[in-house]
Amino acid sequence: MDILKLLSHFEGFDPEVYDRFDTRRKAMRQFAGIGKKLTLASLPLAASAMIQKAYGQTNTGNVAYALQLALKAEYLESHFYVTGINAAQGLGLQGDTLGKLKRIGYDELLHVEAVRATLATIERPQVPYVGPMADKPAGADYGIDITGGGGNGNGPMAPALTNLDVFLAAAQAFEDNGVRAYKGQATNVMPNKPVLAAALGIHSVEARHAAALRKIRADRAGVQNGYMPKPWPTGADPGNIPEPYNAKVAPLYGPGIGNPNMFPSESNTMQAGINIAQLGVTNAQATESFDEPQEGDTVVRYLTGQVLPDVKFIY
Amino acid sequence: MTTAPKPPAGGLPRRRFLAFAGAGLLATGTLAQGCKKDDDDDDDVPTPGPTGNSLTLTNDDVGILNYAYALEQLEADFYARVVAANNFSTNFAMGEAQLLRDIAAHELAHKEFFRRAIPADKLLRNLTPKYGTLDFTNRMQVLATARTFEDLGVSAYNGAGPLIASADYLVLAGKIVSVEARHAAFIRELSGVRFADSDVLNVDYSRMPSRFRSPIPNANGSDNPSTAAELGFNPATNNAIEKSRRPSEVLAMAAPFITETLTSQLP
């Protein structure tokens, strides 16, 4: 591996590449130091680790990180659906809509098993629990609160458990977020082809769920004047979600916090330098044509209350 | 250093992107076309992209991009005919018609994107789709064909993903496949079938439990978490993971819709 060539490649599309390694000289020294310590064969790996450090988790693989994140998202989603299905009577959840939600919930429960089993071959899957922070059982790694209350069970999304419209809106946001989160991990699982294949196969199911939930909500709103929300996000709009809930889920449709260039908001129309809005479609349609990935660390920050302090699904 | 230009939102400039991904240099002139100033984007005709000559799908990233381009050509042509059919606005309610027009626009955007992203000297030819006896004025026939195309498209992108060498192309394929999956779910619901079923997922809904239990242990021990056994989980056949298809399988299914004969070196 020619380090200088590699760095100049990065310099080509990222003028700040040397800033990311502190300084050019330091970058050279870092690479040179590695060269002394390691054999030539392991050099590419060391270089890729340094590049990964400089660029976050975007350019090289991190299968365990991706699967732990996926497992968190699947636990959260499946627990949410199970809770809703078991509260169906109080929610007024019945008939065809209940049938669809049971299928979605079952899919998510199977995803938990699939992700957990795959992750277990790589490292210990983190274990969640449900309950107050003070009651954390031995062996549990983190708590999950589907109301976003950080363990008090009474967060801003608590009305989802008594109001079907809020429940469906929250489900839509969870699914749209799931699509972005899986997409954001594609490059992390890329080195492991079986895991990549499984992740892609879950990713498209999350997208089907998202579209199904959006249609359920549109049908409930009445479609005489058109579907609202549409089956896909338009711009960075969460999709016909009333306040105060809209503001609580809006960051899920925004840019990645750590790397907004690599993870733009859902309103993005530039793909590989091509402006999709100039290809004979409207600007809105251009944003709809491509779903954007979300940065893993941004998903984690959001779920753990580091984006909106009063929204904490994981603690 | 702060004065240095940043890469545009959405990733690398196209020319850098292709060079970095090892796909070779673009023919000059296409970049200027892609960037042509055009503020009124409602009813405008896209600036023409290059016209390809190839009918071969090589066993590399360019071949996979051309493969996607072939499928997007089919979808774009199909939906353009759907929304132009004589009785389109009576066959479909206003809300449905709007979403079908949106889907037609998404597929056009995908097609035109690939046309500009693939190096012109390796670009696949403009294909001539054919539809046999399909009646574009028949709602159920249109929806059945749309469902076939969308479900096939999702399985095609999912199957191509692990074959892609460039991380940038993988992400781009990911950005498109979830939109196709949203289309597929919506079209299926319009057709009167579920957004997904065992025809497209590895799933057996007959194993769905009568009582749903959370997979998460409860701190107060009020309920045992669900188990893989009670869910009927099977790592190969019941995991709710979408089925994928290899390019050779997809191309065999798409061949009846394409007048030209494609030569594929893809697996």
How high is the pLDDT of residue B45? 62
Which residues 14-73 of B have a C-beta within 8 angstroms of A?
A: 14-20, 31, 34-36, 38, 41-42, 44-47
Q: What is the DSSP letter of B191?
A: T
CB proximity A11 to B under 8 Å: no
Q: Enumerate the residues of chain B whose CB falls inside 8 A of the CB of residue A127.
A: 217
Of A187, A212, A276, the CB nearest to B189: A212
pLDDT, mean of residues B166-191: 98
pLDDT, mean of residues B96-119: 98
* Interface probe with A: pick from B20, B147, B171, B180, most Cβ of A within 10 Å: B171
How high is the pLDDT of residue B220? 75
How high is the pLDDT of residue A211? 98
Which whole-number Å values give the CA distances from A173 to A4, A233, B44, in the listed order? Answer: 44, 10, 33
Higher pLDDT, residue A5 or B53: B53
CB proximity B226 to A under 8 Å: yes
**CATH of span B50-198+244-264:** 1.20.1260.10
At residue A274, the 3 state secondary structure works out as strand
Token pair 């493969």: residue: B67
> Roughly what angle, to the nearest 10 degrees, separates helices B61-84 and B167-190?
30
How high is the pLDDT of residue A61? 72
Structure tokens at A209: 């769920």
Q: Do B158 and A201 touch (CB under 8 A)?
A: yes
Q: b or e along B194-217 (b: 16 or more beta carbons within 10 Å of the residue's beta carbon)?
A: bbbeeebbbbbbeebeeebbbbbb
How high is the pLDDT of residue B28? 33
How high is the pLDDT of residue B29? 35
Structure tokens at A172: 């839509």
Residues 6+ apart with CB under 8 A from A272: B10, B11, B12, B14, B17, B18, B113, B117, B168, B172
Per-position DSSP letters for A19-41, written without gaps between them: HHTS-HHHHHHHHHHHHHHS-GG
pLDDT, mean of residues B118-136: 97
CB proximity B243 to A under 8 Å: yes
How high is the pLDDT of residue B48? 78
Higher pLDDT, residue B44 or A77: A77
The whole-angstrom distance between B123's CA and the closest CA on chain A is 17
How high is the pLDDT of residue B44? 54
Cβ atoms of A79 and A147 within 8 Å: the answer is: no
How high is the pLDDT of residue B23? 38
Total H helices, total E strands in chain B: 9, 4
What's the CA angle centered on B147, arms B152 and A222, to 5 degrees? 140
How high is the pLDDT of residue B1? 35
Structure tokens at A221: 């709103």
The whole-angstrom distance between B196's CA and the closest CA on chain A is 7
pLDDT digits (tens, 9 = 90+) for A181-197: 999 999 999 999 999 99
Q: Is the peptide bond before A244 cis (omega within 30 degrees of 0)?
A: yes
Structure tokens at A243: 């306040």
Taking one residue from A and the other from B, the number of pairs with CB-CB distance under 8 angstroms is 340
Residue of A nearest to B8 (CA): A261
- Tell me what ipTM this predicted complex has: 0.86
pLDDT digits (tens, 9 = 90+) for A237-275: 999 999 999 999 999 999 999 999 999 999 999 999 999
Alpha helix ranges (H) inside chain A: 3-13, 17-20, 24-37, 43-55, 63-86, 88-91, 95-120, 164-184, 186-189, 193-221, 245-249, 283-289, 296-303
> Roughly what angle, to the nearest 10 degrees, separates helices B94-117 and B61-84?
150
Backbone angles phi, psi at B238, to 5 degrees: -140, 75
CB proximity A292 to B under 8 Å: yes
Is pLDDT above 60 for B192?
A: yes
At residue A271, the 3 state secondary structure works out as strand
Structure tokens at B96: 């449905």
Q: Do A114 and B241 touch (CB under 8 A)?
A: yes
Q: Is the peptide bond before A229 cis (omega within 30 degrees of 0)?
A: yes
- Helix (H) or strand (E) segment spanning residue A142: strand A142-143
Backbone angles phi, psi at A93, to 5 degrees: -90, 115
What does the radius of gyration of chain A's CA atoms come to, in whole angstroms?
21
From A44, A300, A60, select the one nearest A186 (Cα to Cα): A60
pLDDT digits (tens, 9 = 90+) for B193-230: 999 999 999 999 999 999 999 999 888 777 789 999 99
How high is the pLDDT of residue B157? 98
Structure tokens at B232: 């009927």
Residue of A nearest to B112 (CA): A279
At residue B208, the 3 state secondary structure works out as coil
Cβ atoms of B75 and B10 within 8 Å: the answer is: no
CB proximity A21 to B under 8 Å: no
| Top-confidence range, A29-43, B41-55, B179-193 | B179-193
Is pLDDT above 50 for B171?
A: yes
How high is the pLDDT of residue B147? 98
pLDDT digits (tens, 9 = 90+) for A53-67: 444 444 447 999 999
CB proximity A217 to B under 8 Å: no
Instruction: List domains and CATH numbers for chain A.
Output: 3-55 (no CATH), 63-303 (1.20.1260.10)
Domain residue limits, chain B: 50-198+244-264
How high is the pLDDT of residue B8? 42
Low-confidence stretches of chain A (pLDDT beneath 70): 1-60
Of A218, A261, A285, the CB nearest to B102: A285
From A180, A185, A205, select the one nearest A196 (Cα to Cα): A185
CA–CA gap between residue A207 and residue B178 (Å, rounded): 5
Q: Enumerate the residues of chain B whose CB falls inside 8 A of the CB of residue A78.
A: 214-215
